[in-house]
């Protein structure tokens, strides 16, 4: 139930985000006295609408986005012919270039503002940076081979939220009397100096054969006998091998929170820093996008799905569902932040039909008119959008194909976080 709830909540959050994107266009257009005739959430048949002033607001049947109608956004608008002389001055393309640029960029700016606010809340009041005390505890455990003890042997299909019950077999370490916080100093007569040497020594053990282990508790050494259990693991090469674990992990003080909240003031600087990092990673991800298509295609036909392959709205919603299922709300909202930043940047690419394409054309028209005026030639006027339609359709086909590819991969071979 929590998983389904998470999927619905994340999909709803995406819909709200996209609706706010269009609201940003509308708000700035109205601020500059442009004529806005429609604002709808969704596509397809109208479910409900009302008119306030000159604008119709409403909800449509397919909740996959939204749109706003600003008269004169492209030369394809026939609605301009029906306007009176007063409203002719309010047509989008007649407004100053700086106003048009702000209106066109307002959608992406809305995503950036939304992402920044959510990130600031996370950084300031919940925490997304690792607590130095927690890092020190991890480092101490690794340097001294201080262990945490599993109470039972987990089943092969155990998930991240697995909890031991009285019916489960005790782990070897628990059965031998080792406690969380004990330091292992030797295994099978081999000295253990840190976590790396412990792992190396245990990797050579034979399952179900007793082994002598020396621990140190409160400065006092104790000798114990442990019988490791057999467990199958998959190696990096894809083969399966049997190992002999003791049932211990590196000990971290459970009273120390993993993350630390920066507070509302310091959180501003932290958020700016995080935002810079995310923008940089977004541009890197966009540059690497073509190289991700072959492995994404292969994953549909049975290859292992890499965690860094792109996901669709379907995949992102499934990840959101997992995060809610395992009570990882900070991750849930961080995914929303990443998604908003990515959509904001992607939408500013200078390609039609994205807003960045319209911005690029507007500035091209301005530059072309300035050059013509300098040369004493007549103003060439507006760009003929009809001539750009083949390129626009090509972009739509490519983006549509990529979306179909990611949706298929997210259904057939989805990325999972906790299984």
- Look up the CATH number of the domain holding residue 169: 2.30.42.10
Q: Are residues 356 and 242 in the same domain?
A: no
Q: And the tokens for 206?
A: 């034979």
Q: Are residues 138 and 110 in the same domain?
A: no
pLDDT of res. 75: 63
Residue 62 forms part of a structural domain: no
| Range 277-292 average pLDDT | 90
Among 217, 250, 283, give the residue marking a domain's end. Answer: 250
pLDDT of res. 72: 84
Residue 215 forms part of a structural domain: yes
pLDDT of res. 95: 92
| Range 304-314 average pLDDT | 88
* Region for 93 from its dihedrals, namely left if φ exceeds 0, alpha if ψ lies in -120 to 50, beta otherwise: alpha
212 vs 302, which has greater pLDDT?
212
Q: CA-CA distance, 224 to 37, in Å (whole number)?
A: 80
| Range 241-264 average pLDDT | 86
Q: Are residues 268 and 372 in the same domain?
A: yes
pLDDT of res. 246: 86
The range of the structural domain enclosing residue 377 comes to 2-35+71-129+263-412
Q: Are residues 386 and 316 in the same domain?
A: yes
Tokens 């053990």 appear where? 205
Q: Is 22 labeled as catalytic in the residue annotation?
A: yes
Q: Is pLDDT of 405 > 90?
A: yes
Residue 179 forms part of a structural domain: yes
Is the distance from CB of 349 to CB of 31 less than 8 angstroms?
no
Q: CA-CA distance, 356 to 107, in Å (whole number)?
A: 10
pLDDT of res. 154: 82
**Among 126-135, 204-213, 231-240, whose mean pLDDT is lowest?**
231-240
Q: Are residues 362 and 278 in the same domain?
A: yes
Q: Is pLDDT of 159 > 70?
A: no
Among 194, 227, 250, give the residue marking a domain's end. Answer: 250
From residue 252, give the alpha-carbon distance in Å to each of 148, 154, 222.
7, 20, 22
| Catalytic, out of 22, 270, 322, 365 | 22
pLDDT digits (tens, 9 = 90+) for 25-52: 999 999 999 999 999 998 889 999 999 9
pLDDT of res. 97: 94
Is the distance from CB of 377 to CB of 122 less than 8 angstroms?
no
Q: Are residues 330 and 401 in the same domain?
A: yes
Is the distance from CB of 235 to CB of 161 less than 8 angstroms?
no
| Range 115-127 average pLDDT | 94
Q: And the tokens for 140?
A: 């101490």
Residue 45 forms part of a structural domain: no
Please state, for a pLDDT cut of 90, what percent of the chain lies above it.
47
**Among 71-75, 282-286, 336-340, whose mean pLDDT is lowest?**
71-75
Q: Are residues 208 and 329 in the same domain?
A: no
Q: And the tokens for 154?
A: 């987990």
| Range 140-155 average pLDDT | 88
Q: How many domains is the chain built from?
A: 2
Q: CA-CA distance, 303 to 183, in Å (whole number)?
A: 42
pLDDT digits (tens, 9 = 90+) for 324-360: 988 888 889 999 999 999 999 999 999 988 999 999 9
Q: To 5 degrees, how large is the angle CA 31–CA 37–CA 41?
A: 95
Q: And the tokens for 142?
A: 């690794």
From residue 297, give the alpha-carbon distance in Å to each of 138, 183, 238, 402.
39, 48, 20, 10
pLDDT of res. 171: 87
| Range 178-187 average pLDDT | 92
pLDDT of res. 77: 54
263 vs 82, which has greater pLDDT?
263
pLDDT category, 237, cuts 50, 70, 90? low
Q: What is the CA radius of gyration of the chain?
A: 29
Q: Are residues 397 and 381 in the same domain?
A: yes
pLDDT of res. 165: 82
Residue 390 forms part of a structural domain: yes
pLDDT category, 102, cuts 50, 70, 90? very high
Q: Are residues 353 and 294 in the same domain?
A: yes
Q: Is pLDDT of 60 > 80?
A: yes
Helix axes 266-300, 385-412, angle to 10 degrees: 80
Predicted model pTM = 0.81
Q: Are residues 92 and 75 in the same domain?
A: yes
The side-by-side arrangement of strands in the sheet containing 220-226 is 190-191, 183-187, 211-217, 220-226
From residue 125, give the alpha-carbon distance in Å to each of 118, 121, 259, 362.
11, 6, 11, 42
- Give yes or no for a cis peptide into 353 (omega within 30° of 0): yes
Q: Is pLDDT of 19 > 90?
A: yes
Residue 51 forms part of a structural domain: no
pLDDT of res. 80: 55
Q: Are residues 290 and 365 in the same domain?
A: yes
Average pLDDT, the chain: 88
Residue 121 forms part of a structural domain: yes
Q: CA-CA distance, 361 to 50, in Å (whole number)?
A: 34
pLDDT of res. 76: 56
Is the distance from CB of 123 to CB of 261 less than 8 angstroms?
yes
The full 3-state SS of the chain, as one line of letters, equals: CHHHHHHHHHHHHHHHHHHHHHHHHHHHHHHCCCCEEEEEEEEEEEEEEEEECCEEEEEEEEEEEEEEEECCCCCCCCHHHHCCHHHHCCCHHHCCHHHHHHHHHHHHHHHHHHHHHHHHHHHHHHCCEECHHHHHHHHHHHHHCEEEECCECCCCCCCCCCCCCCCCCECHHHHHCCCCCCEEEEECCEECCCHHHHHHHHCCCCCCCCEEEEEEECCEEEEEEECCCCEEEECCCCCEEEECCCCEEECCCCCCCCEECCCCCHHHHHHHHHHHHHHHHHHHHHHHHHHHHHHHHHHHCCCCCCCCCCCCHHHHHHHHHHHHHCCCHHHHHHHHHHHHHHHHHHHCCCCCCCHHHHHHHHHHHHHHHHHHHHCCCCCCCCCCHHHHHHHHHHHHHHHHHHHHHHHHHHHHCCCCCCC
Among 227, 250, 273, give the residue marking a domain's end. Answer: 250
| Range 59-63 average pLDDT | 88
Q: Is pLDDT of 119 > 90?
A: yes
pLDDT digits (tens, 9 = 90+) for 187-206: 988 999 999 999 889 888 88
Is the distance from CB of 43 to CB of 353 less than 8 angstroms?
no
Q: CA-CA distance, 241 to 239, in Å (whole number)?
A: 7
Q: CA-CA distance, 219 to 21, in Å (whole number)?
A: 62
Residue 42 forms part of a structural domain: no
Q: Are residues 12 and 90 in the same domain?
A: yes
How many CB atoms neighbour CB 250 within 10 A?
A: 18
């Amino acid at each position: 139930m929590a998983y389904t709830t998470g999927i619905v909540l994340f999909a709803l959050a995406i819909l709200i985000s996209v609706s706010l994107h269009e609201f940003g266009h509308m708000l700035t257009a109205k601020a500059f006295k442009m004529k806005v005739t429609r604002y709808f959430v969704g596509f397809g048949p109208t479910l409900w609408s009302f008119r306030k002033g000159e604008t119709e607001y409403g909800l449509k049947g397919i909740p996959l986005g939204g749109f706003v109608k600003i008269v004169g956004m492209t030369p394809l608008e026939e609605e301009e012919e029906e306007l009176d002389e007063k409203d002719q001055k309010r047509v989008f393309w007649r407004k100053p270039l700086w106003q048009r640029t702000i209106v066109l960029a307002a959608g992406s700016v809305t995503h950036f503002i939304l992402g920044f606010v959510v990130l600031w809340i996370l950084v300031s009041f919940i925490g997304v940076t690792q607590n130095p005390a927690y890092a020190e505890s991890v480092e101490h455990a690794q340097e001294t081979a201080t262990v945490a003890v599993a109470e039972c042997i987990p089943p092969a299909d155990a998930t991240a939220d697995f909890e031991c019950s009285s019916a489960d077999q005790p782990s070897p370490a628990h059965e031998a009397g080792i406690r969380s916080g004990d330091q292992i100093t030797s295994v099978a007569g081999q000295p253990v100096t840190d976590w790396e040497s412990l792992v190396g020594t245990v990797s050579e053990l034979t399952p179900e054969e007793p082994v002598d282990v020396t621990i140190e508790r409160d400065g006092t050494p104790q000798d114990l006998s442990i019988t490791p259990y057999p467990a199958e693991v998959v190696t990096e090469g894809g083969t399966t091998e049997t190992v002999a674990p003791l049932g211990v992990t590196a000990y971290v003080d459970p009273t120390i929170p993993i993350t630390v909240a920066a507070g509302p003031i310091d959180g501003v600087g932290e958020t700016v820093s995080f935002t810079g990092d995310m923008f940089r990673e977004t541009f890197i991800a966009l540059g690497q996008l073509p190289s991700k298509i072959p492995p994404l295609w292969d994953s549909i036909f049975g290859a292992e799905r890499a965690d860094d392959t792109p996901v669709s709205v379907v995949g992102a919603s499934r990840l959101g569902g997992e995060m809610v299922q395992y009570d990882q709300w900070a991750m849930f909202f961080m995914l929303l932040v990443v998604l908003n930043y990515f959509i904001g940047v992607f939408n500013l690419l200078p390609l039609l039909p994205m807003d960045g394409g319209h911005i690029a054309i507007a500035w091209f028209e301005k530059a072309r008119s300035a050059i013509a005026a300098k040369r004493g030639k007549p103003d060439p006027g507006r760009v003929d959008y009809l001539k750009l339609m083949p390129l626009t359709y090509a972009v739509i086909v490519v983006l549509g194909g990529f979306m179909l590819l990611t949706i298929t991969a997210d259904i057939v071979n989805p990325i999972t976080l906790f299984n």
